[in-house]
Structure 1
Amino acid sequence: MIVITAPTGNIGSHLLSLLLDSERARARDEEVRVVVRDPARLPDSVRDRVEVVTGSHGDAVVVDRAFEGADAVFWLVPPDGSLTPEAAYCGFTRPAAKALAAHGVGHVVGVSALGRGTPVAHRAGLVTASLAMDDLIAGTGVAHRALAAPSFFENLLEEVDTIRGAGVFTDAVDAGLKTPRVAVADLAAVAADLLLDRSWSGHGSVPVLGPEDLSPDDLARIMTRRLGRPVRYARQSLDELHRDLLGFRLDPAFAQGVVDMKRAKNEGLDAGVTRTPATGSPTTFDQWCARTLGPAVLAAGTPR
């Protein structure tokens, strides 16, 4: 039995499809259980093939029910900007950690971040909180793998309107800073392999770095070519970012955590792991633009 949290999100939905279509899973009659607040958000084709536990996976009663009889769990915390970073990550995860131990779950694959072991890891805001969450899970004694991810290509989907309307996307990192970036589908594929294998033990990080390091200027160049329209990068200052986040009514500590994470990325947070065949992943940014961003930009301009 594999339990999937956040099955309707970007990563979870990819993972769920991979598991349900896996020949390995079918060959051994692997059962899949999902924890979801609103089962109606699951596609009909999926809902009939999984066991559904309704509720939040931050709720002690829900995870106690969801982890009963489970062999493996996919753990993803949806960051809640109304909370402090510690509450959003470790606070949310503590009920699950107790349930993992109580039900003797053997394996957990979680989504985390790059940065462990770097000089800035202790002052990286949300990433520091995420690494503490990894330690909390590992402390239960379960076999644990934290998928150490850089920034996702999919973050750009939040800027589809400005890319289409003004040819601009923003971030708070140096325009020329080359860092790893990854498609969520690649992260889900690594998670699926780990959840179906389960021959591993102990705890550790599994970096998923994408095929190449790219700067914001590189992204702009590739988007310009792929979308057939000029796209440029506009860097936002950390002070501007902080003011914007507070304007969205985020918890002040959470807003500061985002700022600290961006500052740490500028100072080498994502540069602590070397890309190898084992840590790289296949989807290029150009491929992702063709498959995902391009259609989204076109759809945003389609009259309704």
Structure 2
Amino acid sequence: MHQTNESDIAGASEAILVTGATGNVGHAVVEALLSAGRTVRAAGRDRDAVSKMFGDRVETVSLDFTDPSTWTAAFSGVRQMFLLRPPQLGKPKKQMLPALEFAREQGVEQIVFLSLQGAEKNKVVPHAALESWLRTSGISWTFVRASFFHQNLSTTHLTDIRDRNELVVPAGRGATAFVDAEDVGAVAAAVLLDPHTYSNKALTVTGDEAITYERIAQILTAELGRPIRYAQPGAIRYALHARRRLVMPWGMVFVTLAIYTTARLRMAAGLTQSVRDVLGRDPISFAQFAHRKRGLLTPQSDLGHLPS
């Protein structure tokens, strides 16, 4: 569990930059840092959206990794940052590394990077290229390698579950180690608050259980009071569904396909104790998440008929 000490990289008055601040993980990082009394510079492509979410509790700044005109305001005067790869940026060497090199020149000394479980073995995913650069950057790095987020089911796959009563992923019967974005954000914040303990380390962050998508559908069925079917499309059918029905950009289609293929090949079930080790508490379970999000996953017309 985090304990602040005098050897921390930055003083409590120095702002910590959080990229992707309006996302599920970024939001959790910001809130955890604010709760610890730290000053936060919250960044997103839409500065107004950041301001709307956090008000005057943070410094708000616009950041586009592909637009150098936004870099100075984002990176100047900060030594620590939480880095999230925007999902639409599938070519990090071209689309992100120039900005990170600029950040290093501006004096950024520590980067906590939201990576992916197994990124060290899966060179196809964009996270691998960013990890490789960070290892040789001279910056103190920590990789927070998250397993599959609970929240992907309430964002990416929301319309399938809410409007079509189905879960369409090509994961076969393989189990997946799920994790809650709240837990991942809390771990990332703890690393920023105690940088020396976690310097140049990789933390794989999972929940307590690896479960199949068939079991996910059963939990959702019980929680939502209506049958949720688990469809198991092949790669081509999934890709077309993701593109046409879920309106994913092609880059995200291929990244998610790679992730689900890993599950289908029984390679996504590894569990760790990182949440307990870093935070000193149990991770949030999928059943707890489903209960918390039941209103969001229920059609508006059915909200009054949820099971008690």
TM-score, normalization by structure 2: 0.81
* Pair 1:91–1:302, CA change in 2 (3 A): farther
Q: 2:81 aligns with which of 61, 70, 73?
A: 73
Counterpart check, 1:109 vs 2:112: yes
Contact 2:210 2:271 in 1 (8 A): no
Equivalent runs, 1:265-276 vs 2, <5 Å: 265-271=263-269, 274-275=272-273
Amino acid at match of 1:300: Q
Q: 1:64 aligns with which of 51, 58, 72?
A: 72
Partner of 2:5: none
Equivalent runs, 1:40-51 vs 2, <5 Å: 40-42=48-50, 44=52, 46-51=54-59
Aligned residue pair count? 283
Cα displacement (A) at 1:56: 1.3
Partner of 1:215: 212
Partner of 1:159: 157
Partner of 2:297: 297
Mapped to 1, the partners of 2:73 and 2:162 lie a distance apart of 45
Contact 1:100 1:140 in 2 (8 A): no
Mapped to 2, the partners of 1:73 and 1:213 lie a distance apart of 31
Mapped to 2, the partners of 1:181 and 1:113 lie a distance apart of 12
Cα displacement (A) at 1:95: 2.2
Report SS of the residue matched to 1:135.
helix
Q: 1:91 aligns with which of 86, 90, 94?
A: 94
Cα displacement (A) at 1:45: 7.2
TM-score, normalization by structure 1: 0.82
Moved more, 177-186 or 269-278: 269-278
Cα displacement (A) at 1:114: 0.9
Mapped to 1, the partners of 2:177 and 2:186 lie a distance apart of 17
Counterpart check, 1:172 vs 2:175: no
* Pair 1:103–1:154, CA change in 2 (3 A): same
Cα displacement (A) at 1:237: 0.8
Partner of 1:19: 33
Amino acid at match of 2:115: S
Mapped to 2, the partners of 1:115 and 1:45 lie a distance apart of 32
Mapped to 2, the partners of 1:164 and 1:254 lie a distance apart of 21
Q: 1:2 aligns with which of 16, 21, 24?
A: 16
Partner of 1:134: 131
Contact 1:182 1:281 in 2 (8 A): no
The structure where helix makes up a greater share of residues is 1
Partner of 1:260: 258
Report SS of the residue matched to 2:77.
coil
Partner of 1:278: 277
Report SS of the residue matched to 1:270.
coil
* Pair 1:140–1:168, CA change in 2 (3 A): same
* Pair 1:166–1:55, CA change in 2 (3 A): closer
Mapped to 1, the partners of 2:157 and 2:272 lie a distance apart of 30
* Pair 1:8–1:40, CA change in 2 (3 A): same
Same amino acid, percent of matched pairs:
25
Report SS of the residue matched to 2:296.
helix
Aligned CA RMSD, in angstroms, stands at: 2.6
Contact 2:239 2:253 in 1 (8 A): yes
Contact 1:161 1:300 in 2 (8 A): no
Partner of 2:44: 36
Report SS of the residue matched to 1:57.
coil
Mapped to 2, the partners of 1:63 and 1:274 lie a distance apart of 36
Moved more, 263-272 or 213-222: 263-272
Cα displacement (A) at 1:283: 0.3
Amino acid at match of 1:221: Q
Report SS of the residue matched to 2:268.
helix
